[in-house]
Amino acid sequence: MSDSHEPLAAEARTDESGPTARLGGLGSGVGAFAVRLVRNRVAVAIVVAVVSVSWVASGILARQGEPPELEKPPVDLSETDATVIEVRVQDFSAETHRPVLLASGITQADRDLKVRSEVVGEVQELLADEGTLIREGAALLRLTAQDRPAALADARARLEQAQSDWQSTEQLHTEGFRSDTQLNAARSALKAAEAQLERAQLNVRRLVIDAPFGGFLESYSVEQGDYISSGTEVVRLLDLDPLLVTFSVNEDNLDKVSLGSRVSAELSSGDRLRGEITFVSRSADPQTRTFRVETEIENPESRYPAGVTAQIEVSLPSEQLHFISPGIFVLNDAGDIGAFGVTSDNTSVFYPLEIADHKADGAWVKGLPEEVTLIVVGQSWIGEGVQVRPVSVQEVDETSESLTDGG
């Protein structure tokens, strides 16, 4: 019996070593590995904890022999210069400059006359050419004589008779043969005859119209054969030497111009003429509220015509002024134009300015001290009485040059 069971037991042991037995062995191995891993992590944690405690303890022990450090007070940001604005500044000095007043003007004739006829008659002949220079007294136009020569001859005869009557009456009055009344009548008749002759002679002279002054014959208003009456315009005559250049100034600039002030006038042709102010009006134009100013300029041979526009420059008295760039200008709260400067304690100050003259690259102004430091960069960021950190423009330029040379 026992022999028959032993093979079965052997087979059973043999079966236990199959797949199931192998899985059981694998599970046992994994478990053992996990146990070892947990044990290692615990060990690492213990080591880290020990090292940390030792480092903290060493720091405490190291400071036990040192005096306690005083607690630092908090920083007062109000005492820093974080709010001080850095600006660029430049020094300026006053210079002697003769400013000019600019205006727009026009050329005009010194005299512009419309010559008129003094008698009635027919135009017989035009005696000069339009567009030519004529001398004073030159004949311009002749009218037909009509009956004027006959009237002149009659007046002469009457005068001769009146003179003869006067002489005889005066002689008889001396001898007592003529009364005082007769003598006075003869005298009156003589004077009337003299006046009649003078009128007749004047009417004959008026048949020829002469130039009242030398100048430029601009145009005729009549033609040959026209019948004109007394007072009819017959010719226009211009006196262009001297030539007048007229312009207007407003009431703010009226006190800047005066008689004798030098004037330069540039015509549209590019020619530049020079003269002096000869007239300044004291009555403003009711429409424009400006004052008329006249300048006389020599114009021989009437070279320059009337009616040409001109750009006027009036030389004003010399002044001590500063020349600054227009980029420096600012407006204050009141709307006044000016510039910001820097005082000795680095405080901004506003200088109201008046522009006396200007060019393309800047302006001459007054209202600054003779020597002044102005803010040229950063003036738009500040107001008056602000603490600033001024940096000289020259210093910045020198730094930039040194960096460039070093590069």
**pLDDT one-digit tens code per residue, 185-206:** 999 999 999 999 999 999 999 9
Instruction: Report the topology of domain 85-97+319-406.
Output: 2.40.420
Instruction: Write out pLDDT tens, residues 345-403.
Output: 999 999 999 998 888 889 999 999 999 999 999 998 888 999 999 999 887 665 555 54
Helix 148-175 × helix 180-205 angle, to 10°: 160
Question: Residue 139: is it exposed, middle or buried by C-beta count within 10 angstroms (0-12/13-18/19+)?
Answer: middle
Q: How much is the average pLDDT of 149-153?
A: 94
- Percent of the chain exceeding pLDDT 90 equals 68
φ/ψ of 25, rounded to 5, equals -65, -35
What residues have CB less than 8 Å from 64, skipping those under 6 apart? Answer: none
Cα 389 to Cα 394: distance, rounded to the nearest angstrom: 15
Contact 139, 222 (CB under 8 A): no
Which residue type, as a one-letter code, is found at position 85? I
- CATH 2.40.420.20 residue ranges of the chain are 85-97+319-406
Residues in the chain: 407
Q: Which CATH architecture has domain 240-315?
A: Beta Barrel (2.40)
Instruction: Write out pLDDT tens, residues 275-302.
Output: 999 999 999 999 999 999 999 999 999 9
Entry pTM: 0.61
Cα 350 to Cα 342: distance, rounded to the nearest angstrom: 9
Cα 68 to Cα 61: distance, rounded to the nearest angstrom: 13
Contact 218, 237 (CB under 8 A): yes
Collapsed DSSP state (helix, strand, coil) of residue 322: strand
The DSSP letter of residue 82 is T
Contact 308, 267 (CB under 8 A): yes
Q: How much is the average pLDDT of 297-311?
A: 94
What residues have CB less than 8 Å from 173, skipping those under 6 apart? Answer: 179, 180, 182, 183
- CATH 2.40.30.170 residue ranges of the chain are 240-315
